[in-house]
C-alpha cells in the first residue's frame, strides 16, 4: 500500500537528531496509526450518505486493521453486503484452474471455502508424493516381511 498522502515519514528528512514533533507538524492532518481507536467509527456507521469528514487512515493502520503480515496480500470486499469476504486470499484460490469458481463464490457474497486438503497438495505437491512413497514402503515392509526391508534389497545388488 504505497500512498503518497503524507501519512508516511519521508526517509530523506530523517536523521539521528530529527524531532518527531517537527515531522508531525509537516503532515497536512493527523492520521490514524496502528493500534489507534477510530473515534469516528460511530459517525461513519450513522452516516448513510457518506458525507461526514473522518480522520484518514495511514498505511500502518490499514495493515493493522486487515491483519496484514506479509505481501502480496489480497482482501476481498463485497460492496452490496458491505462485508469483507476474505482478508487472506491464498494464491491457489485465484489460480487459472480455480479462478472462475472463486469469482462466482465472491460475487454471490460468500467467502472462499476454508483451507482444505487440496490446498495443501497444491502448495507442496512433492511433499505429498514423498509421504505417499514412504507410506507405501512402510506398508510393504510391514505386510510383506523383512525381505522387503531396504537393507535386504540393497544386499541383493552388492
Model confidence band, residue 4 (pLDDT cutoffs 50, 70, 90):
low
Mean pLDDT in residue range 119-130: 86
Mean pLDDT in residue range 79-99: 82
Mean pLDDT in residue range 107-135: 86
pTM of the model: 0.44
Going by C-alpha positions, the residue among 60, 99, 49, 59 that lies closest to residue 76 is 99
pLDDT of residue 1: 47
Strand segments (E) across 83-158? 83-86
pLDDT of residue 41: 67
In sequence order, which residues have a C-beta less than 8 Å from that of residue 43 and are 6 or more positions away?
52, 54
Amino acid at each position: 500500500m504505497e500512498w503518497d498522502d503524507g501519512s508516511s515519514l519521508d526517509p530523506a528528512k530523517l536523521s539521528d537528531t530529527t524531532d518527531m514533533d517537527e515531522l508531525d507538524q509537516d503532515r497536512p492532518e493527523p492520521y490514524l496509526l496502528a493500534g489507534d481507536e477510530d473515534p469516528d467509527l460511530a459517525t461513519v456507521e450513522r452516516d448513510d450518505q457518506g458525507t461526514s469528514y473522518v480522520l484518514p487512515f495511514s498505511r500502518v493502520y490499514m495493515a493493522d486493521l486487515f491483519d496484514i503480515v506479509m505481501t502480496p496480500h489480497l482482501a476481498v470486499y463485497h460492496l452490496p453486503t458491505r462485508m469483507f469476504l476474505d482478508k487472506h486470499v491464498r494464491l491457489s484460490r485465484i489460480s487459472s484452474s480455480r479462478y472462475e469458481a472463486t469469482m462466482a463464490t465472491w460475487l454471490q457474497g460468500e467467502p472462499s471455502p476454508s483451507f482444505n486438503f487440496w490446498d495443501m497438495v497444491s502448495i507442496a505437491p512433492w511433499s505429498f508424493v514423498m509421504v505417499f512413497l514412504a507410506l507405501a514402503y512402510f506398508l510393504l515392509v510391514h505386510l510383506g516381511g523383512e525381505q522387503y526391508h531396504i537393507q535386504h534389497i540393497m544386499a541383493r545388488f552388492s
